[in-house]
DNA sequence: CTGAAAGCGCTAACAG
DNA sequence: CTGTTAGCGCTTTCAG
């Protein structure tokens, strides 16, 4: 009774407010409009109990006509779930923006399909994860750019919220992971280059700072590359490389100091066009090198002079991580490690 | 009394739950621990009323030791504000990922500095904006990639939430906008190229689909470019250009059909390296062209063969938009249009 | 099949 | 300077 009165008053008051922000429609407004109780409205929305067709119809019409959308905060307070997934993406430089962006796209797209929104966390540290989880801002977390021995892993383990890593840490691996199979990519590149008859192969990898950070993927790529060289009986070497026009210098120096090297595999977004161009130029027309890249497909297409490339299925990685997370969230699926396989992409070479 | 009992019970119960999610610490727990009322805890956090140093000390210690973070939903329900800013960023292809990523970085970074988190909206449409605003998921909105006559503008105007556009729509311009001054960039490129003695200039712009979408910035760039050509008494033409290796074909065709053109201004992320390389190659060493680009600084550095470039201050744009939004949110600042000026960046050319 | 009512955890009057 | 308490809008028993 008291409630009813209050609501009527506020309803009337709002109807006459001029110019102010539009009245925020609540579930109570919908219930009045439809002539039912608020619990019925709630159940129509959640589908958690049977509703007669007529009632449902009336409620849905009321929701429509009032333009009602439930208050997310109230909902999360009452239901203890937010329908939001937290995403920690590296926004610093030195990472491959293309790849990050595509992963984010994959995460956002799939999340939306599962009915989740994405909260983009501002910092890359453990604290941001705790804030989001303990503050009940999110139901679960996707964490990108995981390093070999990442402190965030322990934080996540004791958080009480499900999470998926994008990246493959060393060690106990107690959390679900999705990553690209960099090791397999190393093998694949070697197979391809050696198959073309090249006997001395060079991997031009991440910038020194990334190498030193012991970013798991750089190590795994090198490991796969070198192991495959050994297995194929060819000679392989690995070089760090800056991510800008200085890549050209590094590439020239490599060609100079190792003139027999004829197969190149570049994994370095920023340095890619420079290094590729420099290698081709330095060896001259008579000794054309084979240059492959590891990067998203569109970047490969945008780079002149590549033989072909191995695509990083970045969007698929984001999608896979999110799908896994949603499966855990809704069906209590068992967390696993998932490595997406490399795929050779042939490039329509520009003459 | 009743409350007290309930909390003690749940506290005890939780202490013995094994393996389950950790007990969610509430403001009541903190109040008990510190021996004060919950409102005191609340006021310690918000600073909205004076607290004796001793009490503050005790409360802060309790917050620390319990690892309390307030429930975001409860907070937004009670305070009618979320401390979240919604960000609608284009994740589709055909836009400049570098730029988008940098804008996002700027938004996230500044938002965090102002105490806001970022909700990344999943779709680019009006509906997503309404959902976020009406569902009280956000306090305000930043909307990227605004087109000349964007339907979202009307949606935003009647939303009752502050918002800032990144992009400059045509027409009434009732909402605050932040954008790069593309028109000034067109003038600047022409001044530079004409200053170097080039009398026939070519603007190689966005892909046809972007041009046709009437993306405001493409139009403004072309307008500035052409007006400046006229003012400087040089001949200018504008071409659309695909964003991949086909850019090379377009560039070659331009050089072929207009052999006198010697100053080039490229605004097309994906096509940039191809077009630049093709132009230089097509004209040969004897007739070296001047090639400028409009893109973020790091991409310019990563592209061989540029004379210099005009940087798009993408991160600053995100930062400016967010700062403006926060000023509106907290001080009721007056919304304005802000166009960030272009800056010439000289490139350390690779020999 | 539907309604009433008890909270969810917090903020902000109001009352000292 | 501090405590009490009435909601914020929703979900979910419990009771028909």
A115-136 pLDDT per residue, tens = 899 999 988 899 999 999 999 9
Note the CA–C1' distance, B28 to D3, in angstroms: 13
Note the CA–C1' distance, A28 to C5, in angstroms: 14
Q: What's residue B93's pLDDT?
A: 63
**Which bases of strand C sit closer than 7 A to a protein CB?**
1-5, 7-13
Does residue B1 have a pLDDT over 60?
no
8 Å CB contact of A274 and B130: no
Average pLDDT over residues B123-130: 92
Does residue A339 have a pLDDT over 50?
yes
CB of B51 under 7 A from strand D?
A: yes
Residue in B14, B130, B350, B351 to test binding to A, most A beta-carbons within 10 Å? B350
Reported CATH class of domain A15-79:
mainly alpha
Distance from CA of A229 to the nearest CA of B (A): 30
Task: Specify the higher pLDDT residue, B270 or A3.
Answer: B270
pLDDT digits (tens, 9 = 90+) for A299-330: 787 777 889 899 999 999 999 999 999 999 98
Q: What's residue B2's pLDDT?
A: 31
Secondary-structure percent of chain B, ordered helix, strand, coil, rounded to 5? 50, 15, 35
Please, which contacts does A294-299 make with residues 24 or more away whose CB atoms are closer than 8 Å? A294/A185, A294/A189, A294/A221, A294/A265, A294/A266, A294/A267, A294/A342, A295/A96, A295/A98, A295/A99, A295/A267, A295/A269, A296/A98, A296/A99, A296/A102, A297/A345, A298/A98, A298/B93, A298/B244, A298/B270, A299/A98, A299/A269, A299/A272
- pTM score, two decimals? 0.85
Counting one residue from A and one from B, how many pairs have CB atoms under 8 Å apart?
167
CATH, range B182-312+346-350: 3.40.50.2300
Q: What's residue B22's pLDDT?
A: 52
Does residue B16 have a pLDDT over 50?
no
8 Å CB contact of A74 and B73: yes
Nucleotide nearest the Cα atom of B31 (by C1'):
D3
Domain with CATH 1.10.260.40 in chain A: 15-79
Considering only CB atoms, B122 lies closest to which of A22, A76, A109, namely A109
Q: Give the pLDDT band of residue B347 (cuts 50, 70, 90).
A: low
Domain with CATH 3.40.50.2300 in chain B: 84-180+315-342, 182-312+346-350
Does residue B176 have a pLDDT over 80?
yes
Token duo for residue A279: 């290698």
Backbone angles phi, psi at B39, to 5 degrees: -65, -35
Chain B residues whose beta carbon lies within 8 Å of the beta carbon of residue A77: 71, 73-74, 77
pLDDT digits (tens, 9 = 90+) for B271-308: 888 899 899 888 887 788 999 999 888 778 777 788 98
Does residue B20 have a pLDDT over 60?
no
Does residue A5 have a pLDDT over 80?
no
CATH 1.10.10.60 assigned to A84-180+315-342: no
8 Å CB contact of A118 and B120: yes
pLDDT digits (tens, 9 = 90+) for B198-237: 999 999 998 887 777 667 788 899 999 999 999 999 999 9
8 Å CB contact of A101 and B122: no
Average pLDDT over residues B337-348: 86
**Mean pLDDT for all residues in chain B:** 87
Does residue A3 have a pLDDT over 90?
no
Chain B residues whose beta carbon lies within 8 Å of the beta carbon of residue A158: 22
Considering only CB atoms, B117 lies closest to which of A68, A77, A137, namely A137
Q: What's residue A22's pLDDT?
A: 53
Does residue A18 have a pLDDT over 60?
no
Q: What's residue A265's pLDDT?
A: 97
Note the CA–C1' distance, A73 to C12, in angstroms: 18
Residues packed against strand C, CB within 7 Å: A 35-40, 43, 49-52, 54-56, 74, 77-78; B 6, 24, 26-28, 38-39, 42-43, 45-46, 48, 68, 70-71, 74-75, 77-79
Helix axes A72-79, B72-79, angle to 10 degrees: 130
Q: What's residue A270's pLDDT?
A: 81
Alpha-carbon distance of A342 to A203, in angstroms, equals 16
């Amino acid at each position: 009774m008291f409630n009813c009165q209050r609501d009527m008053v506020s309803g009337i008051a709002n109807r006459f407010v001029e110019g102010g922000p539009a009245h925020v429609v609540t579930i109570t407004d919908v219930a009045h409009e439809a002539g039912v109780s608020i619990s019925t409205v709630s159940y129509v929305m959640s589908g958690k109990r049977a509703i007669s067709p007529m009632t449902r119809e009336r409620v849905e019409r009321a929701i429509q006509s009032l333009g009602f959308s439930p208050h997310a905060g109230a909902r999360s307070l009452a239901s203890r779930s937010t329908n939001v997934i937290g995403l920690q993406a590296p926004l610093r430089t030195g990472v491959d923006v293309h790849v990050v962006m595509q992963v984010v796209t994959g995460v956002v797209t799939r999340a939306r399909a599962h009915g989740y929104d994405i909260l983009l966390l501002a910092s890359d540290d453990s604290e941001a994860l705790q804030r989001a989880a303990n503050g009940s801002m999110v139901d679960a977390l996707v964490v990108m750019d995981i390093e070999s021995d990442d402190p965030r892993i322990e934080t996540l383990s004791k958080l009480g919220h499900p999470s998926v890593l994008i990246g493959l840490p060393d060690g106990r691996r107690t959390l679900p992971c999705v990553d690209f199979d960099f090791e397999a990519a190393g093998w694949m590149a070697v197979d391809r280059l050696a198959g073309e008859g090249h006997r001395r192969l060079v991997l031009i990898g991440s910038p020194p700072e990334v190498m030193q950070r012991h970013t798991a993927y750089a190590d795994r790529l090198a490991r796969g590359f070198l192991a495959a060289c050994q297995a194929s009986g060819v000679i392989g070497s690995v070089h760090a490389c800056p991510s800008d026009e200085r890549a050209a210098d590094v590439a020239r120096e490599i060609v100079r100091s190792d003139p027999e090297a004829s197969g190149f595999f570049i994994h370095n977004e920023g340095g890619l066009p420079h290094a590729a161009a420099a290698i081709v130029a330095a060896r001259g027309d008579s000794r054309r090198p084979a240059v492959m890249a590891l990067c998203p497909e569109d970047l490969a297409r945008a780079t002149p002079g590549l033989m072909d490339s191995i695509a990083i299925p970045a969007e698929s990685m984001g999608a896979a991580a999110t799908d896994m997370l949603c499966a855990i969230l809704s069906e209590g699926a068992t967390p696993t490690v998932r490595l997406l396989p490399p795929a050779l992409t042939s490039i329509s070479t520009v003459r």
